[in-house]
């Protein structure tokens, strides 16, 4: 699993002009799922995201997690994170999991994030054409890959 994590002061996702998910201070997470991903990847990545110390403390040092900052999470599925651009100019998405594998993993990831965060998260809609807006706070952007955890 690949996650692009952005610390935001606000973020929204719209589908067909309607707001589907919206947060204030928190994390907007783009999640890419590949065929080889499983429960171990979900558990590791969820815990890393909610414990990632990228929110400022009283001295303006990035030393607090989203749990401590009392922030929210907006999770967006994004298969294009697994694009291969080695050959030619048209990306290949061969590593991205097909919906029959990716959807159950995405839903399980939502459950883990909600459990680890201790409250519901906001989401987009798997496979939908989404319009995502955000104000990146910092800017702070972190990329995590569960296959590179060692």
Residues annotated as catalytic are 78-80
Distance CA 141, CA 135 (A): 12
Query: Residue 9 and residue 68: Cα distance in Å, rounded?
Result: 15
Angstrom distance (rounded) from CA 135 to CA 7:
8
Report the Cα 125 to chain-centroid distance in Å.
13
**Separation CA 44–CA 14 (nearest Å):** 29
């Amino acid at each position: 699993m690949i996650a692009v994590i952005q610390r935001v002061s606000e973020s929204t996702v719209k589908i067909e002009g309607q707001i589907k998910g919206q947060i204030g201070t928190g994390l907007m997470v783009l999640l890419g799922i590949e065929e080889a991903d499983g429960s171990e990847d979900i558990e590791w990545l969820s815990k890393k995201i909610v414990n990632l110390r990228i929110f400022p403390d009283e001295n303006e040092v990035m030393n607090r997690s989203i749990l401590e900052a009392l922030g929210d999470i907006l999770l967006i599925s994004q298969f294009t994170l697994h694009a291969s651009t080695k050959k030619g100019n048209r990306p290949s998405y061969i590593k991205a999991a097909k919906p029959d594998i990716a959807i159950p993993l995405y839903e399980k990831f939502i459950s883990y994030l909600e459990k680890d965060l201790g409250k519901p998260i906001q989401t987009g809609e798997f496979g939908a054409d989404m319009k995502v807006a955000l104000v990146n706070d910092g800017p702070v952007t972190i990329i995590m890959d569960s296959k590179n955890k060692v």
